[in-house]
A and B are shown apart, each in its own frame.
Chain A
Amino acid sequence: EAQVTQNPRYLITVTGKKLTVTCSQNMNHEYMSWYRQDPGLGLRQIYYSMNVEVTDKGDVPEGYKVSRKEKRNFPLILESPSPNQTSLYFCASRPQGSYEQYFGPGTRLTVT
């Protein structure tokens, strides 16, 4: 089944403890993105990637890192999480030249 998977789906952590949220797609898509969703703010793009080793900042990259070493994976790294990074995170992918974006199921992160 064609899909975007994220792990974990739920995470409660403490301030300053490094964490990684994984994102994987099995559709051989070139484009991948990370978004955060907060009430009243909609979705805001954190980072995006147009292919392996090609990444760029979105609108809210502060406090996040990404890597794209393989086409299928696009992990989101929080080196030192803070409470203001408590949010619902979505990974998405789409093939180059196409406009339909496939979203993962979301990861709800709480930083205390």
Chain B
Amino acid sequence: ELKVEQNPLFLSMQEGKNYTIYCNYSTTSDRLYWYRQDPGKSLESLFVLLSNGAVKQEGRLMASLDTKARLSTLHITAAVHDLSATYFCAVERGATNKLIFGTGTLLAVQP
């Protein structure tokens, strides 16, 4: 059974600091997604990682994938308050449209 774990579940950080969110999954998967959810809002796609060693960057967020370790990371550089949100990773096997989500990481960036 495919399981997805995120760490940490809650992250409080100061503006300007760097930090990393981790996403581990239990069995081989074909794609890994990162999403952002603002309070009371829907989900927004951030990144999709397709292969081992894939790295994607958008602004202060950088996502990477290590398929051998079954690990993806979402690195936050020089955090700003606008990044405060809940971040989810999700994995998909095959072209099935069947996604398994992690429990999410609530990020709070303090001034």
- Interface, chain A (partner B; CB < 8 A): 31, 33, 35, 40-45, 48-50, 56, 58-59, 90, 92, 94, 96, 99-106
Contacts and interface: CB of A to CB of B under 8 A. Distances in A.
Interface string B83-111: 00000101000011111111110000000
B70 interface: no
A41 B96 CA distance: 22
The 3 nearest A-B residue pairs measured at CB: A99-B48, A42-B103, A43-B101
A64 to B, nearest CB: 15
Interface residues of B: mostly helix, strand, loop or mixed?
strand
A105 B101 CA distance: 18
Interface residues of B, number: 22
A105 B45 contact: no
Interface string B58-92: 00000000000000000000000000000010100
With most chain B CB atoms within 10 A of its CB, the pick from A33, A35, A41, A103 is: A103
A92 B97 CA distance: 10
Contact of A101 (B41, B45, B98): B45
B101 A103 contact: no
Contacts of A59: 100
B98 A48 contact: yes
Interface of B: 6, 31, 33, 41-45, 48, 50, 88, 90, 95-104
Contact of B99 (A33, A50, A105, A106): A33
B97 A33 contact: yes
24 contacts: A31-B97, A33-B97, A33-B99, A40-B103, A41-B103, A42-B6, A42-B101, A42-B102, A43-B43, A44-B101, A45-B98, A45-B99, A58-B98, A90-B43, A94-B97, A96-B95, A99-B31, A99-B48, A100-B45, A101-B33, A101-B43, A101-B45, A105-B42, A106-B42
Given A42-B103, A92-B43, A102-B45, 6 more contacts: A31-B97, A40-B103, A42-B104, A56-B98, A100-B45, A106-B42
